[in-house]
């Protein structure tokens, strides 16, 4: 007799789906190819240092609270969320440093000190960003696009009629330059397109929704690190009866008569009537469902035409000393942002002059580094993996990162006491991320942001998708929502 539901992958989306399904009384087994939960939201411990290896900031905290409430989570099961202020410290090539405060009036004052003509535009821009959120969130974030009844409600039809107001016909960069005069402020707001792995010079201005989410809904640190959230969700899932099988590599999804019949795992067959895949959506549709039939071949070609998001190169550095000039989150901007994105998305080569992101959780949790040291999570955006760039440029990018830090007055090369590197090829191999993409599918076209693979598929019946490559998109809150929407679609 078939078990109720099999979930492929124990990333945040799979954990969310498993919890929501278990709350509904479903019998759920999660199969994870690695030896622990979390997927790309993993952790590493070495030489007394602790690192998150994936996301480092939580937004839209109400999404997590709704998940906890649905699972009737106790206070002990819930993580502690700590507001981050400043949200980020920006270092510019001309030596300017800007703290982007979580408090809007303070942020405006900070911008006024650097770019007087742009201070008042901050509020206008965030108002514009909020309008996009209010018009799109209910229809495009909180509902599955397969829910035609909800999609065609009078409320949503009214929203669809006001489609131009969500700004899909201009690019992120074109719109930010219409608000701000100073190129440094433009660069600050352009970077939010990278939150889902896209190019601000190509992605639709609808993505300008993201600054509203961060500045007006708030950015939070998870006490203990982001992996504390992963452990929290695993604990809740287990309490609800969810079973986990680790080191279980799913080799394929078995289908007969247009319906899911089970999973092929390590040479065996596990019967299931329903499968939720938290594996990368493109990987699921092109590899796990590829049975060699003409229909599968057409499906593979269709999904392979979807442009992957950018990938990333991560350096995990244990650093001697404590740098008072750095905040919890820091950005060191490149000299030529447009050229950097041309490298990543057009030439598909490692950026010669990368923008560098540095997160240091030991500022909030001193136990994450030995006394007198810091744990640096360093991220550089990279092109998705191709045959030509698979192993290219890692030493050169590392050298470029250290040059950018030295330019900002931080010469730390001699203070790196331990190091681990996560490359785009690692992401592809460890997590079956399509071509090493971090966020699944890019939004570098007018329609891509709205046409991610759906949570419920027409064919085969019984297969559902969640995770950053499925609707509604990448980032912690959206991935949690994708699991919820997949579970609701199963219902």
Residue 82 lies in a domain: no
Number of domains in the chain: 1
Strand partners of residue 313: 380
Half-sphere exposure of 344 (CA within 13 A, CB side): 33
Q: Which structural domain range is residue 31 located in?
A: 3-41+223-306+444-490
Report the first-to-last Cα separation within the chain, whole angstroms.
20
In a domain, 191, yes or no: no
H-helix or E-strand spanning residue 314:
strand 311-320
| Cα(357)–Cα(336) distance, integer angstroms | 16
Q: Rounded to an integer, what distance in angstroms lies between the CA atom of residue 458 and that of residue 258?
A: 10
Whether 67 contacts 19, CB under 8 Å: yes
DSSP-assigned states of every residue in 356-390: EEEE-GGGT-GGGS-TTEEEEEEEEEEPPP-TTTT
Q: How many CB atoms lie within 10 A of CB 403?
A: 13
How far is 134 from 479, CA to CA, in rounded Å? Answer: 20
Average pLDDT by consecutive 10-residue portion of the chain (491 residues)? Answer: 81 98 97 97 98 97 98 98 97 98 96 97 97 84 62 55 76 98 98 95 94 96 98 98 97 93 94 96 91 76 87 98 96 98 97 98 98 98 94 93 98 98 97 94 73 86 94 93 95 72
Distances (CA, A) of 361 to 224, 364, 374, 378, 410: 8, 5, 8, 12, 18
Query: CA-to-CA distance for 83 and 85, rounded, in angstroms?
Result: 7
**Which one-letter DSSP state was computed for residue 1?**
-
Domain-embedded: residue 382: no
Beta carbons within 8 Å of 427's beta carbon, 6+ residues apart: 40, 311, 312, 433, 436, 437, 438
Q: Is 462 contained in some domain?
A: yes
Let me know if residue 398 belongs to a domain: no
Q: What three-state secondary structure class fits 284?
A: helix
Residue 152: the pLDDT is: 54
Name the β-bridge partners of 97.
Answer: 91
Rounded CA-CA distance 28/354 in Å is 43
Find, among 294, 257, 295, 255, the residue nearest to 275 by Cα: 255
Would residue 268 count as lying in a domain? yes
Backbone angles phi, psi at 312, to 5 degrees: -150, 150
* Domain annotation covers residue 354: no
**Alpha-carbon radius of gyration of the chain:** 22
The pLDDT of residue 2 is 43
Quote the CA–CA distance of 250 and 290 in Å, as a whole number: 13
pLDDT for 311 equals 97
The CATH number linked to 471 is: 3.50.50.60
In DSSP notation, 153-218 reads SHHHHHHHHTGGGG--SSBHHHHHHHH--SHHHHHHHHGGGGGGT--TTTSBGGGGHHHHHHHHS-
Lookup: tokens for 176 = 């930010």
CA-wise closest residue to 252 among 31, 1, 486? 31
Residues 6 or more apart whose CB falls under 8 angstroms from that of 451 comprise none
Q: Is the dihedral of CA 196, 199, 204, 208 positive or negative?
A: positive
Three-state DSSP class for 403?
helix
Domain annotation covers residue 433 = no
């Amino acid at each position: 007799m078939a078990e109720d539901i099999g979930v492929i992958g124990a990333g945040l989306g799979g954990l969310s789906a498993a919890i929501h399904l278990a709350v509904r009384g479903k019998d759920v087994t999660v199969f994870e190819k690695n030896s622990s939960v979390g997927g790309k939201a993993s952790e590493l411990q070495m030489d007394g240092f602790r690192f998150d290896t994936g996301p480092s900031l939580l937004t839209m905290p109400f999404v997590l609270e709704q998940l906890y409430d649905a699972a009737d989570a106790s206070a002990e099961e819930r993580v502690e969320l700590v507001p981050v202020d400043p949200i980020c410290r920006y270092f510019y090539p001309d030596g300017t440093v800007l703290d982007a405060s979580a408090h809007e009036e303070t942020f405006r004052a900070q911008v006024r000190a650097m770019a007087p003509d742009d201070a008042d535009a901050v509020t206008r821009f965030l108002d514009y960003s909020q309008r996009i959120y209010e018009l799109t969130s209910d229809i495009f974030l909180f509902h599955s696009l397969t829910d035609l009844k909800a999609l065609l409600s009078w409320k949503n039809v009214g929203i669809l009629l006001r489609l131009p107001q969500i700004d899909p016909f201009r690019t992120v960069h074109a719109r930010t330059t219409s608000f701000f005069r100073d190129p440094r402020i433009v660069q600050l707001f352009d970077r939010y397109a990278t939150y889902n792995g896209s190019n601000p010079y190509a992605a639709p201005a609808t993505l300008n929704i993201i600054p509203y989410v961060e500045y007006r809904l708030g950015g939070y640190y998870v006490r203990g690190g982001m992996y504390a959230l992963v452990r929290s969700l695993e604990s809740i899932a287990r309490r609800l009866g969810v079973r986990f099988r680790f080191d279980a590599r799913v080799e394929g999804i078995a289908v007969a008569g247009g319906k899911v019949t089970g999973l092929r795992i390590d040479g065996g067959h596990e019967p299931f009537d329903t499968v939720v895949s938290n594996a990368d959506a493109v990987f699921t549709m092109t590899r796990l469902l590829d049975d060699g039939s003409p229909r599968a071949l057409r499906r593979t070609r269709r999904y392979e035409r979807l442009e992957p998001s950018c990938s990333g190169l991560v350096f995990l550095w244990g650093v001697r000393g404590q740098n008072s000039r750095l905040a919890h989150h820091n950005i060191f901007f490149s000299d030529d942002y447009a050229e950097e994105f041309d490298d990543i998305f057009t030439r598909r080569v490692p950026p010669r002059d990368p923008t560098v992101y540095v997160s240091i959780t030991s500022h909030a949790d001193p136990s994450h580094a030995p006394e007198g040291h810091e744990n640096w999570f360093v991220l550089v955006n990279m092109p998705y993996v191709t045959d030509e760039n698979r192993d290219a440029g890692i030493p050169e990018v590392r050298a470029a990162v250290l040059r950018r830090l030295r330019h900002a007055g931080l010469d730390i090369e001699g203070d790196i006491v331990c190091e681990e590197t996560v490359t785009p090829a690692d992401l592809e191999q460890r997590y079956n991320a399509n071509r090493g993409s971090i966020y699944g599918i890019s939004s570098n076209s007018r329609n891509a942001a709205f046409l991610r693979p759906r949570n419920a598929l027409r064919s085969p019946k019984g297969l559902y998708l969640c995770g950053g490559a499925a609707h509604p998109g990448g980032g912690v809150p959206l991935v949690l929502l994708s699991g919820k929407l997949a579970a609701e679609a199963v219902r």
